[in-house]
Chains A and B, each alone.
Chain A
Amino acid sequence: GAVVSQHPSRVICKSGTSVKIECRSLDFQATTMFWYRQFPKQSLMLMATSNEGSKATYEQGVEKDKFLINHASLTLSTLTVTSAHPEDSSFYICSALRALAKNIQYFGAGTRLSVL
């Protein structure tokens, strides 16, 4: 149990295009999901908290208009990187909070975004 699916696993796009990443909790409902970004050899940096049915909460320094988050159902959150630029190239990881499981986040496999 506690499976989180993230899609796509890898995406290459041209500068200026938008990219959507999906995060699904497959066997549990998640009112809260999180989006992280990881640079090479660095820790996971929380970008935003995605709450089902309400606006996402962004961490300081993260552009809301750049990284659009939608959490329309209890099993799906999406992150859209708008007008992507090469500096947005990174590894993006989502997680879902299984509230009944002691505050443990379960992670997707991540998405490698490369912007040319």
Chain B
Amino acid sequence: ETVLTQSPATLSVSPGESATVSCRASQSVKSNVAWYQQKPAQAPRLLIYAASTRAPGIPVRFSGSGSGTEFTLTISSLQSEDFAIYYCQHYNNWPSFTFGQGTILDMK
């Protein structure tokens, strides 16, 4: 089973700056990584799938990159509503899925 490791665990950034979250897979997952945002008391929301494709309605300041074992989620020009927890996700042998442990993005 592929394990996803996110870093850092917590990221403190000021509004207007950029933030980068990393996700490392224990073995190659090609480009099959998705990213989710979760705000307090809300369900997660899909941001990015297939490593770099934005989901419908997601602002262009969210971008994803990577392939193989290294992936990044970058949020440029942080807005107040972007401070949340971010998770990466991959599927193992369908229908088994795995998530990273999450990265807390908080306001500096």
Asked if chains A and B come from one complex, the reply is: no
Q: Give B contacts to A, CB under 8 Å.
A: none
